[in-house]
């Protein structure tokens, strides 16, 4: 039986606290996830938290730049960027960053923004005025700090266009904050150690992608990333019903949902003994 309970935060608190609820599975922001965990913790309930992310696409100098940019566009602009698995950083080798950025800008400019009921529209509105204002703030503050908006960067009401920022560094909100909007911050690097350091410079740890023509090389770098999921020569925004899904750090409590992982997550072991026949 599926019960749908419309409501606000008070409804969520009541469900998480109710003694008849044995487990809480929550998907949402890290701030709300912490509150859910506190409320459910009073009842010592099992909690599965799937929270936010600041996910990186790492592009090595030997990557197929056009393919990587396509994956980057899908990862940053799909669903207006409103996905926990969206790419929040494009960490690109300095030797190919110009070519990659140009390709990403072309991808962004080819995506129409407007009423999603009109055929051919790629991006619709973001979820709320508050979220649109948040995206605007992060972009404006980053540009004021020295980033450059190569395309997009100006909203019309709830419609925010695909935006590519370059010259992004670690001092900027676009580097640290989860944007949850169609914004692609590009951060250059020189060596693989620097790429790993940039990608891991976050409290989040949900997903990542690594692009290289050498799969062994990409795999070796991917194993150094502190994320619950990582994809080689693909998008960061990847999900499959048969695969365990979840993150590390403030992206979740290291639980996994999906596929056979759900069997362990949503059930409990029980040990029963009985005496032999008399």
Spatial CA neighbour of 72 closest among 233, 275, 249, 200: 233
CA–CA separation, 83 and 158 (whole Å): 17
**Nearest-10 crossing angle of helices 9-17, 30-41:** 40
Q: Name the token pair of 88.
A: 């929040």
Q: What angle do CA 146, 152, 155 make, to 5 degrees?
A: 105
Catalytic residues: 50, 84
The tokens describing 45, both together, are: 């309930």
Alpha-carbon gap, residue 118 to 138, rounded angstroms: 29
């Amino acid at each position: 039986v599926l019960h749908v309970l419309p409501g606000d935060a008070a409804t969520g608190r009541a469900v998480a606290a109710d003694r008849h609820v044995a487990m809480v599975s929550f998907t949402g922001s890290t701030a709300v996830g912490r509150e859910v965990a506190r409320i459910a913790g009073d009842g010592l309930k099992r909690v599965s938290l799937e929270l936010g992310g600041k996910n990186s696409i790492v592009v090595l100098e030997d990557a197929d730049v056009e393919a990587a940019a396509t994956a980057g566009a899908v990862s940053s602009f799909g669903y207006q960027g409103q996905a926990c698995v969206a790419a929040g950083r494009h960490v690109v080798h300095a030797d190919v960053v110009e070519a990659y950025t140009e390709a990403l800008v072309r991808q962004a400019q080819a995506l129409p923004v407007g009423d999603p009921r009109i055929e051919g529209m790629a991006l619709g509105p973001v979820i709320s005025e508050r979220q649109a204002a948040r995206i605007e703030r992060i972009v404006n503050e980053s540009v004021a700090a020295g980033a450059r908006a190569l395309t997009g960067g100006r909203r019309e009401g709830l419609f925010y266009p695909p935006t590519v920022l370059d010259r992004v560094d670690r001092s900027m909100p676009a580097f640290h904050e989860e944007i949850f909007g169609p914004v692609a911050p590009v951060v250059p690097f020189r060596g693989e150690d620097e790429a790993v350091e940039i990608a891991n410079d976050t409290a989040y740890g949900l997903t990542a992608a690594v692009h290289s023509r050498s799969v062994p090389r990409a795999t070796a770098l991917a194993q150094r990333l502190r994320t619950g999921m990582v994809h080689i020569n693909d998008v960061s925004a990847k999900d499959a019903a048969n695969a365990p899904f979840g993150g590390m750090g403030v992206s979740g409590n290291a639980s996994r949902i999906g596929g056979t992982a759900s069997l362990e997550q949503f059930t409990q072991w029980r040990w029963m003994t009985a005496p032999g026949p008399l």
